[in-house]
Structure 1
Amino acid sequence: MNTEMNDNNWFSQFNWSGNPFTLEIQPSLFVGYSREVKEILQAIDEGQKFILITGPTGAGKTMFLRWLCGKYDVIYLPKPPLDEKELVDIFKAVYLKPTFMQRMLHLNGVNLYNLSDVFNERNKGKKVVLLVDEAHETKVHVLEWLRSLSDQIQGMSLVLAGLPKLKSDYLETLETLAQRISSEVELRALSKDDSINLVKKRISNAGGTGLEPFTMDAILDIYKVTGGFPREILKLCNSMIHKAMERNSSIIDSSYFDNIPESNAVDEVNSNLEKLTDKQQAIIDILLSGSCTPAQVINKIDITDYMSHGHALRSVNNILKRLCDMDLVVREKSGKAFMYKISPKLKSVTVNA
């Protein structure tokens, strides 16, 4: 009880109604990614069928989707459906509730095979957006169902959001879906200005003004430590205000960063860097000099240990995939090839080292 009172007293000096930096998803406080937002909104407005949003953990994918919920008539799935029954049940619960006569006669004839026909008859071609979060946790057959439904349902756009491995683990093997993706964005990290705006917006929403109690130097330190990842910014700000409470201080400045909490983006990157094999480190060193395709990487490393050029290429592809999973490397489509480059998280460490 005393702790609650102390918290409230500390918050009240800034006119805060509560802690601005909880991890509660508040779509109205979504900031940044202006180019990516514009591209996704344009794709939905145009009625594009398949849209992809990727990004590492904590980049803001869920917040983006929840923000989109306020813009369109949507079906939002926090997780992909497990099987066809769950997929049908979702549509039935939202759009295809049984009529009075169907309830009276205990009729329930909607299944995966007639779902699109029943939906089209009810919806009359009106725009609807299916948002699937954590899509990297799905199964291949579920993605096939979603693709088929989106093809057949008039006015529906399918938006898949997930970790970068969604592309490498699934879409590369599902050409029928990959070829249909008309718009794709990657949420990497907020810019410095957007990171500052995130803190300001959170404080304003709680009733405060400007950046108070943070000094600008403190905010810049927060940006450097977190690499601009929204979730990490909120976690670090939360940690700093609790440290200020312990010190009974009304100002949070650079002195608070003498002992940074261990659980932040930089420590995660450094931990992964310590685990690198010699071959992984060699590829990281190459990518630090610029983006490369796997074939270009092959030309810059010693492949005498491999049985053939083909074996070397397969090994490099596997290493690059592993580095992507570790959030040290990201890849982008360039023509018919993929370009690999260091991730924003790793870049924030190397730039600030």
Structure 2
Amino acid sequence: MYEKFYGLSSKPFQLKPDARFFYGSKGHKRAMSYLEYGISQGEGFIVITGEIGAGKTTLMRNLFLELVTENIVAAQIVNTHVGSEDILRLVAGAFGIEYENLSKATLLRRIEEFLIQIDRQGKRALLVVDEAQNLTPRALEELRMLSNFQTADKCLLQTFLLGQPEFRQVMLSPDMQQLYQRIIASYHLGPLDVVETKSYIEHRLNTVGWKNSPEINQDAYEAIHEYTGGIPRKINSFCDRMLLMGFLDEILIFGEAEIKKVIQDIQQESEVPLTTPIINTAIAIDNLGDNYSYSSLVDERLTRMEKALISVIGAVKKIVPVTKMNNAQD
């Protein structure tokens, strides 16, 4: 919607992970070094943690682009709300191994046979488990047991565990000591600082042909960092909204005032939802006292709806030219 207005080739702040937009902050470069070290070792577990939206998945996809793919057979698991036997089925499915209606013993034998075959081909097997904080202790134990598959001189499977910060506490629990002892590297991916937030935004804009339109002032960068906490996904979501507002209001320079306006709009949308039950609305009105009436509450909601509708109409008018039609005469 706003790409043409700002002369951009595509959306710079999409939420889905895209290795084209990978930004190597100090933390991301360090995390990448740990992953590369783990690949070189060819054994054990590598653990990378970070807040939601910190860039763990993008980091992993960037690593896959750098791998010599003909020598590494990689598989990824993203759905981790499963039990111990289901995790084995997910592992098998990720590597393309048949798993339907198999007993656990048969399933383990099939996985081991696959790993041995990969090794005989001169290749290595790499398993990446995302959202590892959702795994049960028994599911984690099953993953640990898979690391026991080995030849006389090497492990047949290496595993990367990606999770949110609370996963580090899971790793340190007494029940996880056997797994913890097999972790050869661990790193926590923190948020971007103010300077990195600015570089991150400019990097994504430059990737799609940004020519300093819109112009973004230093005060704006600092306000964006304060609001998003330096979390890449939050930055993406906010900047996408910022450019949309800039398109609707034809803004070519963003300063602190414009950023505050975007924040205000987002905060207004997160207020009392339009679907609030009438009984809750009545309670809310009682709590507000005699100076606030039901009609004023309705008026406020209608005003917000009207503003939202005007914004949508404005966007449509910018995209679809208005054609004046004359009434046909017989």
Regarding TM over 0.5, the answer is yes
Indicate whether 1:134 and 2:131 are aligned.
Answer: yes
Moved more, 155-164 or 119-128: 119-128
Q: Deviations over 1:103-131 (max 9, x none)?
A: xxx99998343144302331026222211
Moved more, 156-165 or 72-81: 72-81
Shift of residue 224, structure 1, vs aligned partner: 2.8
- In structure 2, relative to structure 1, the CA distance for the partners of 1:81 and 1:156 (3 Å cut) is farther
CA contact (8 A) 1:136 1:166 kept: yes
In the other structure, the counterpart of 1:167 is 168
In the other structure, the counterpart of 1:240 is 242
In the other structure, the counterpart of 2:157 is 156
Shift of residue 149, structure 1, vs aligned partner: 0.6
SS of residue matched to 2:215: coil
In the other structure, the counterpart of 1:35 is 30
Moved more, 20-29 or 87-96: 87-96
Indicate whether 1:69 and 2:64 are aligned.
Answer: yes
Shift of residue 81, structure 1, vs aligned partner: 6.6
Q: Deviations over 1:261-312 (max 9, x none)?
A: 2779xx9xxxxxxxxxxxxxxxxxxxxxxxxxxxxxxxxxxxxxxxxxxxxx
In the other structure, the counterpart of 2:8 is 16
Extract unaligned runs of 5+ from structure 2: 68-72, 271-330
TM-score by length of 2: 0.66
- In structure 2, relative to structure 1, the CA distance for the partners of 1:41 and 1:210 (3 Å cut) is farther
SS of residue matched to 1:57: coil
Shift of residue 90, structure 1, vs aligned partner: 3.9
In the other structure, the counterpart of 2:185 is 183
Amino acid at match of 2:158: S
Correspondence for 2:199 among 197, 200, 224: 197
Count residues in correspondence: 250
Moved more, 49-58 or 123-132: 123-132
- In structure 2, relative to structure 1, the CA distance for the partners of 1:243 and 1:198 (3 Å cut) is same
After TM superposition, the runs of 4+ consecutive aligned structure 1 residues lying more than 6 A away are 106-110
Shift of residue 162, structure 1, vs aligned partner: 0.9
SS of residue matched to 1:51: strand
Shift of residue 146, structure 1, vs aligned partner: 0.6
CA contact (8 A) 2:245 2:262 kept: no
Shift of residue 210, structure 1, vs aligned partner: 5.2
TM-score by length of 1: 0.62
Moved more, 193-202 or 25-34: 193-202
Identity %: 24
Shift of residue 88, structure 1, vs aligned partner: 4.2
Distance 2:237 2:22 in 1: 16
SS of residue matched to 1:249: coil
In the other structure, the counterpart of 1:59 is 54
Shift of residue 94, structure 1, vs aligned partner: 4.8
- In structure 2, relative to structure 1, the CA distance for the partners of 1:139 and 1:211 (3 Å cut) is farther
Shift of residue 138, structure 1, vs aligned partner: 0.9
| TM-align CA RMSD | 3.0
CA contact (8 A) 1:189 1:229 kept: yes
Shift of residue 184, structure 1, vs aligned partner: 0.3
Distance 1:203 1:111 in 2: 51
Greater C-alpha Rg: 2
CA contact (8 A) 1:222 1:233 kept: yes
CA contact (8 A) 1:200 1:210 kept: no
Shift of residue 176, structure 1, vs aligned partner: 0.5
